């Protein structure tokens, strides 16, 4: 699958992830996350983190976005953006290991992976990588 996506498309994906973060259900961690995936035919699906009083049942924003797209029949996702509140340190988030494994199932290693953070005043920071930067030695389909 081609991963030559326009800057406009990637910006739209990052913006969709930032928008999805507004729907976060995170009364326990108070850490809001939004994610957006791009399908191979150019559609965007979003997801947010959904927590539970039984903490271990929480599902991350990335997996919720991926599962929405896959549940609609998509099997190849061209890019993913994740947007978090600022985190201590450099302010940027990073997808958890479980989400990286799920991304590996439906995305090529060279698929763009954008990490965005939004401060309270709306200021955005963004870094663009590829899935392989986060998941260099993937366990793949048998």
> Could you give the residue numbers annotated as active site?
62
Binding flag, residue 31, ligand THU (CB under 6 A): yes
CA-based nearest residue to 34, from 52, 55, 13: 13
- Nearest-angstrom CA–CA distance, 14 and 8: 10
Q: Can residue 58 be called a binding residue for ligand THU (CB under 6 A)?
A: yes
Applying CB under 6 A, which part among 36-44, 57-65, 105-113, 130-138 lies near ligand THU?
57-65
Q: Give the phi and the psi of residue 48 in degrees, each rounded to 5.
A: -140, 165
Q: Could you tell me how many residues of this chain bind ligand THU (CB under 6 A)?
A: 13
Closest CA to 113 of 58, 74, 66, 70: 66
* C-alpha span between 59 and 130 (Å, rounded): 22
CA 46: distance to chain centroid?
8
Query: Cβ closer to ligand THU: 78 or 102?
Result: 102
Name the segment binding ligand THU (CB under 6 A); options: 29-37, 38-46, 67-75, 112-120.
Answer: 29-37
Binding mask 85-124 for ligand THU (x = CB under 6 A): ----------xx--x-------------------------
Report residue 6 CA to chain centroid gap: 18
Q: What residue ranges bind ligand THU (CB under 6 A)?
A: 26, 29, 31, 33, 49, 51, 58, 60-62, 95-96, 99
């Amino acid at each position: 699958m081609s991963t030559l996506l326009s800057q406009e498309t990637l910006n739209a994906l990052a913006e969709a992830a930032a928008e999805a973060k507004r729907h976060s259900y995170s009364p326990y961690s108070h850490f809001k996350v939004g994610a957006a995936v791009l399908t191979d035919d150019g559609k965007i699906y979003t997801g947010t983190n959904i927590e539970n009083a039984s903490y271990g049942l929480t599902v991350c924003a990335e997996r919720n976005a991926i599962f929405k797209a896959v549940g609609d029949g998509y099997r190849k996702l061209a890019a993913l953006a994740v947007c978090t509140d600022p985190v201590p340190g450099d302010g940027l988030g990073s997808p958890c290991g479980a989400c990286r494994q799920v991304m590996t199932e439906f995305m090529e290693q060279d698929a763009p992976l954008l990490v965005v953070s939004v401060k309270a005043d709306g200021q955005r920071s963004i870094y663009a990588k590829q899935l392989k930067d986060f998941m260099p030695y993937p366990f793949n389909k048998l």
